[in-house]
Structure 1
Amino acid sequence: MRSASVRVFAAMALASMWSLTACAQSPLGPETGKVSFHTRSADLGVGYTWGQGILTYGDRTYPFTIKGASAAAIGYSSGVSVGKVYNLNRVEDFAGTFWALTGEATVGRGVSGVLMENDNGVRIRLDYTRSGARLAASPERLTIRLVKGAASAKEASKPASSSTK
């Protein structure tokens, strides 16, 4: 009987954790796209971040550049970020200044996450994989600019034999 109680308690705990994560994401708004990008950060008190990435919105991909500054950080790291975009109604709303509170402690290799929001209400939730040596706990201001004339349809990149409609 005790074993059954432990299993019921474990199932309830897992269900409540799942419901908490579902509730935590609801304030972000509807998921409307995905992003992936590569960035580098170099810091000595005040830091600088730069990189490039791809926004997937609808059936198109949009390349973009990212750059910005942070405070209260030291070191260098680089890495790949993947994430989800929320509240994006028009692709033009994606470009702009994003604000985030970040924390990073990378020695060799590390993983972290961040939530960013711009003035248009577009939110990005990211998962980072970083390498280097960097310690940061600071507000960060990042500017994203879409690369002009570089949008491409996903279907256009597929071979003609694989597209069926």
Structure 2
Amino acid sequence: MRSASCRFAVTMTLCGVWSMPAWAEPVLGPVTAEVTFVSSSASLGLGYTWGHGVLTYGGRQYPFEVAGASAAAVGFSSGKSIGKVYNLQRIEDFPGTYWALSGEATIGRGVSGSLMENDDGVRIRLDESRTGGRLAASPSRLTIRLLKPVEAPATPAAPAATGTP
């Protein structure tokens, strides 16, 4: 009997986890953009995170950098994050300070996720793939700053034809 109760509880928990994406969108709103970035985190009680990435919004790509702090963390990890952005109405609302309550347990390789929100109501839901060794369960404060797009070098103009032989 006890084994059946445990299996039922595990089954219900897994059903809840698998259905998270289904209920996340109505709560967060429609997806308005996507982000990808790489970051590193180093911690010894207090932690620091830094990195860079790209926001894809309105058919354009906007490079950005991210940096910030966390508390109650130990270790070092780095990795790639991909995420969906919700409630972004204009590009000016994307940069700023984002708050998150996140956790990480990486030994070698690990995965994690987090949900961040800034003062303009822009939310980012991240799926992260990390390597290293870090344990964290803490509030985080990350600042995102848009960078100027890298422009392609101008091609030199061809000399004008003079018409003389």
TM-score by length of 2: 0.79
Alignment of 1:26-105 (within 5 A): 26-105=26-105
- What amino acid does structure 1 have at the position aligned with 2:136? A
Q: By percentage of residues, which structure has more helix?
A: 1
The answer as to whether partners of 1:86 and 1:124 remain within 8 angstroms in 2 is yes
Q: Distance in 1 between matches of 2:111 and 2:97?
A: 24
**CA RMSD of superposed structures (Å):** 2.1
Unaligned stretches of 5+ residues in structure 2: 1-13, 153-165
In the aligned structure 1, how far is the partner of 2:102 from the partner of 2:122? 18
Structure 1 runs of 4+ off > 2 angstroms? 14-21, 148-152
Larger radius of gyration: 2
Q: Which residue number in structure 1 is paired with residue 161 of structure 2?
A: none
Q: CA deviation at 1:15?
A: 9.1
Partner in structure 1 of residue 24 of structure 2: 24
Number of aligned residue pairs: 139
Secondary structure at the counterpart of residue 24 of structure 2: helix
Percent identity, aligned pairs only, is: 66
Q: TM-score, normalised by structure 1?
A: 0.79
1:47-93, Cα deviation, whole Å (9 max, x unpaired): 00000000000110000000000000000000000000000000110
Residue equivalent to 2:140: 140
How far off its partner does 1:22 sit?
1.9
Q: Is the 8 A contact 2:75 2:135 kept in 1?
A: yes
**Given residue 107 of structure 1, which amino acid in structure 2 is its aligned partner?**
I
Contact 2:65 2:144 in 1 (8 A): yes
Pick closer, same or farther for the CA change 1:151–1:21 going to 2, 3 Å: farther
Aligned counterpart, 1:7: none
CA distance in 1 between counterparts of 2:15 and 2:104 reads 30
